Amino acid sequence: MTDPKRASILIVEDERIVAKDLQQTLVALGYDAFAIASSAEEAIARASERCPDLVLMDIRIKGDRDGIKTAMLLNERFSVPVVYLTAHADDATLSRAKETHPHGYPLKPVRSAELRSAIEVSLFRHEMEKRLRERERWFSTTLRSIADGVIAVDLAGRITFVNPAAEALLGATGAAVMGRPAKDVLRLVDDRFVALSETPLEAVLRDRLPSELSEASLLNLTTGLHRLISDSAAPVTDDGHPLGAVMVFRDVSEQKAMRRQLELSDRLASLGTMAAGVAHEINNPLAVVAANADFIASELTLHREGLAGDADVERRRVGEILDALGDLGSAARRIRRIVADLRVFARPPVEQVAGIADLVRCAEWAVRTTAREFRARARLVTTLGPVPPVNADEMRLGQVVINLLVNAAHAIEPGRASENEVRISTATDGQGRAVIEVYDSGCGIPPAILGRIFEPFFTTKVEGMGTGLGLSICHGIVKSVGGTIAVESEVGKGTTFRVVLPPAVQEEQAASTERAAPFVAGRARVLVVDDEEMILRVVKRLLRGHDVIAVTSAKEGLAHIDRGEYFDVIFSDLMMPDVTGVEFYATLLGRSPELARRVVFITGGATTAAGEDFLRSVPNQRIEKPFEGRSLGEAVEAAVALRSREGA
C-alpha cells in the first residue's frame, strides 16, 4: 500500500468550493493534494508538471472534454489511476465511465472515511496492476528474446503466442498464425518423411503430460524446406486448472550435420589405425598372386615349347598349375575381402537407418578389420552365438564394434600377448534382445572418470592416440536404434562393454513361392563399357562363348546402340572419365528404356555419396570389382533366359 504522506493527488473539479473542500479533506487525511484543475487542458498541464499518484475526477467539468474523456487522455499519457467522484449514476454515464477502467466510482456527497478507502484501494490496485504489467512485459520480452522457438495454445489447440524464433522456423508471422489450430501450422514428418499423426501440443492436451520429440522435420511454410527440430512440450496450468500447452523447439539441422561429420571423422580416424596393417594384410596374398602367376606363365611356356617332358611329368605339371590357380584364386578373394571392408568402412554415412543388420556379421567384419591390433597385445577370443536381426545400418553398427575392439586393444600394453585376453561375444538375452560384449584384461578405468567416458572429446589416451570421439559416437549410434551401451570396469582387472539392441521389427511379407527360372543355355550379344582395357580383355576372355563388343567409353557404347545394334545385356563401369556410368544410363533411359533395364553396373565401389544414392535408386543389378567369372556368366545367362521367355 502507498504511504499516504507520499501519495500525490490531482483534483479535477470545476466547482471551486467543492474542489477546495476536497483538497482540505485530503490534506487532513495525510495526502499531498498538490493541485486543482477545472478543465481537461488544465488537468493535462498540471499532470505534465508533476505526475500524480492518483486523480480524483468529476465527470462534469469545463470545456469540450468531460471527465471521462479527460480520464482517457490522462491514462494514455501518464498511466495514472482515476477515481470518479461524481453525482451522476445513470446507466449511460456508468457505461461510458467503465470503458476507461476506473479504479473507483464513489458518489457525492462522500464521507472522508469512504474517500480514504476508495483512494487506498485504488492506489493498491494500481500498484498491483503495474507490477503485473511489468512482469508480463518481462516474460514476453524474455520469450521473444530467446533463441528457441516457443508456441503456446489454448485448450482447443489454437495458437495464442509465438515468438520470433518460432516465426522464423515456421516461415509465418505471429499475426498470420494467431488463433489457428497448431496442427495446421506445425507440419511435422518423421525420418521417412511420413507426416506425424499429431503434434506434440495435441499429445500434451490429450494426455495432460509433458512430452519430448528428440528429432522430427518441420516444414517451413514460406520456403517449403524441412529443418530438423528437437522439442519438448508441457501443459500450462493455474492452480491445477489446465489453460493450454506450450512447446519449445530448436533447429538441430546443423548439429545433425556436424554429428554425421564427426562420425565420418571418427571412422576415418579408425581407418587410419587400420591402414598401418593393410599393406601387410594385402602383401601376403599379393605375393601369392604374383608368385603363382609367374609359376603358371613359366609352366605354360614350357608346355608351348614342348619342353614339359613325358606324360607323367605333364600330368604332374598340370596338377601343380591347377593347385597354383587355386591358391591364386584364394589369395585374390582375400584381397577382395580386405578392400571391401575398407571401402564399406570409409563410405560416407547415409541419412536414414538402412534396413536390417546382422550383428554377428558386423562382429566378424570388425574382428577381421582389427585383427592386427591384437597380435602384440592379447589373444583375441570370439564366441559368436546366434542373435536376432536388428533395425540398424550394418556399417554404423560395425563402426561401434570396431571402436570397442580398438579401445580394448589399446587398454593393453604391447608385449606378453599370451598373458592378456580380449573377448568378443554375441548372444540373445532373456528378453529376446541381441547382446554383444567386448572384454579386455587391460588396465581398467578409474571410478572417478567412469561416468565421463561417453562424453565427446573426453579421452584417457596420450596425445595423438585418440580424439575422444569414439565412445561418444558409439553411444549416439546405439541410442539412435533404441539400444543401450554400458560399461563395467575394475582398475587392474579389466573392462567390459555391453551393447544391447532390440530385435528388428519387420513388416510381415508373404513368402514367395515363385522360383527363379532355370538358366537357359544360348549365345548372347553383350556390350561391355569400361575405360580399363585389362578389364575389357578379362571380360571378353570369360565370356568367350558369347558375342562380346568391348568399348573404352560410354560414347562408343552409345554409338553402337544408335546404329540399332541389339544387346541382351550391357555391362557398364560406374566411374569413367568424360561420360560416367550414371550419365550413360540416363542417356540410355531416354533413348531406349528397354535397353536401360538390361544394364549391369560393374563398379569398384561408389566413392561419393551421390554414386551410392544412384546405385540404391535404380533397380539394375551391380557386380563389385574384383569379380568372379561366375558372376558375369550368371548375369548373361539370366539375360538369355529373359529373352527366351519374352520370345525375342
- Read off the pLDDT of residues 475-517 as tens digits, 9 standing for 90 and up: 878 888 889 999 999 888 899 999 999 998 754 433 333 333 3
Report the percent of the chain where pLDDT is more than 90: 21
Tell me the fold of 8-141: Rossmann fold (3.40.50)
- Whole-angstrom Cα distance, residue 42 to residue 13? 11
Cα four-point dihedral sign 406, 411, 417, 420: negative
> What is the C-alpha separation between 353 and 346, in angstroms, rounded?
17
Q: Measured between alpha carbons, how far is 377 from 591 in angstroms, rounded to an integer?
A: 60
* pLDDT-derived band at 4, boundaries 50, 70, 90: very low
- pLDDT, position 213: 75
Question: What mean pLDDT value characterizes the chain?
Answer: 80
Q: How far is it, in rounded angstroms, from Cα 583 to Cα 550?
A: 18
> What pLDDT, on the 0 to 100 scale, is given for residue 340?
62
Question: Higher-confidence residue: 116 or 521?
Answer: 116
Query: Does residue 402 register a pLDDT over 60?
Result: yes
Query: Is 47 within 8 Å of 8 (Cβ atoms)?
Result: no
The rounded distance, in Å, linking the Cα atoms of 636 and 522 is 10
User: What is the C-alpha separation between 13 and 20, in angstroms, rounded?
Assistant: 9
Residue 307 scores a pLDDT above 60: no
Which numeric CATH code is attached to 353-503? Answer: 3.30.565.10
Topology of the domain comprising 146-251: Beta-Lactamase (3.30.450)
Model confidence over 363-397: pLDDT tens digits?
988 888 777 788 888 999 999 999 999 988 877 78
Q: Are 205 and 157 in contact (CB under 8 A)?
A: yes
Contact residues for 401 (Cβ-Cβ < 8 A; gap 6+): 362, 363, 365, 366, 424, 436, 438
More confident residue, 133 or 119: 119
Per-residue model confidence (pLDDT) at position 572:
92
pLDDT exceeds 60 at position 280: no
Q: What per-residue confidence (pLDDT) applies to 553?
A: 92
pLDDT at residue 465 greater than cutoff 50: no
Question: Residues of 133-153 as b/e, b for ≥16 C-beta within 10 angstroms?
Answer: eeeeeeeeeebbeeebbbbbb
Q: What is the pLDDT, as a whole number, of residue 424?
A: 95
Q: Which of 155, 159, 156 is nearest to 174 (CA)?
A: 159
pLDDT in the model for residue 75: 86
Query: Is residue 352 pLDDT above 60, yes or no?
Result: no
The C-alpha cell at 540 is 571378353
Q: 525-646 adopts what CATH topology?
A: Rossmann fold (3.40.50)
Q: What is the DSSP letter of 502?
A: P
Q: What is the pLDDT of residue 1?
A: 45
Instruction: State which of 33-42, 113-122, 367-376 shows the largest mean pLDDT.
Output: 33-42
| Residue pair 437/403 in contact by the 8 Å Cβ criterion | no
pLDDT at res. 188:
86
Q: What is the pLDDT, as a whole number, of residue 519?
A: 36
Cell digits for 640? 538369355
pLDDT digits (tens, 9 = 90+) for 508-558: 433 333 333 333 346 889 999 998 887 888 788 788 888 999 999 999 999
Is 69:14 a contact under the CB 8 Å cutoff?
A: no
